[in-house]
Amino acid sequence: MDDRAAVVARARQAGVSRFVVIGSGGSEREARNAVSLATSDSEMFAAVGIHPHDASAVISAKPPQSGKSQLLGEALWEEIVALTRQPRVMAVGETGLDYHYNHSSPEEQVLLLRRFVRLAQELHKPLVLHIREAHAQAMEILRQEGGSPAGGVVHCFTGGPSEAAAWLALGFAVSLSGIVTFKSAAQIQEAAKQIPKGRLLLETDCPYLAPIPMRGKRNEPAYLVHTAEFVARLRGESVIELAAHTRAATNQVFGLPT
């Protein structure tokens, strides 16, 4: 991203002061980039994983759907594991199940998710989960594997109140992206009203899912204020109140210094 410095400056001007950079795609490059950013700025932190779309890059050593990878199969897995051990990497993921596109087979996604759950347990770091059209199975896998002792977050949440309640019961927080502002997001909006303080996070999912009124543009952290304003109205809170408790929840989930 040639304009990264300008993007970060706009974010800070808008009031976004901390960043958890997700290094999760189909190659080692995304993960290395996230770690590099986290080590270059005291207010940036990283999470490292392999996106479920690209589970086959590890499990079957197939070239990933997104980006290019110099490493495949076990070599890619070993590199990701090594990066998750870095001190500025605060979480494992994103990882999970996405049955909307099935770029990798469900079987491959399940195998990789189980690996990441076990890795998060070993490192005692939280999990960042990407779950789409697979909430029940993902929860069952977490139960079978013994859960996530360090907790975690279901990022870019696309379920409704019942799914949110079930994830909360498993010890996870729930993170809302710009999707919550869309007219088609009635179920997500209902969930947003019910998630308790301390368990609710906000995110961008850059460069995707820009909130209304920025929909259609490349998303960036400065736009988080639009999501915050919308969610605050849903919950009957002031933006200041919402910002305070979502920031505190983010610090808690990721173990960030306060």
Q: pLDDT value at position 76?
A: 95
Higher pLDDT, 164 or 257: 164
Give yes or no for a contact between 163 and 135, defined as CB atoms under 8 angstroms apart.
yes
Predicted confidence (pLDDT) at residue 2 exceeds the cutoff of 70: yes
Length of the chain: 258
Per the structure block, which two tokens stand in for 107? Answer: 């079987």
pLDDT at 66 over 70: no
Please state the pTM of the whole predicted model.
0.95
Q: What phi, psi does 69 have (nearest 5°)?
A: -125, 130
- Least Cα distance to 38 among 175, 130, 30, 173 occurs for 30
The band of 63, judged by pLDDT with boundaries at 50, 70 and 90, is: confident
Residue 116 has pLDDT above 80, yes or no: yes
State whether residue 255 is helix, strand or coil. coil
**What's the whole-number average pLDDT of the chain?**
96
pLDDT of residue 69: 72
Percent of the chain residues past pLDDT 70, beyond the cut: 99
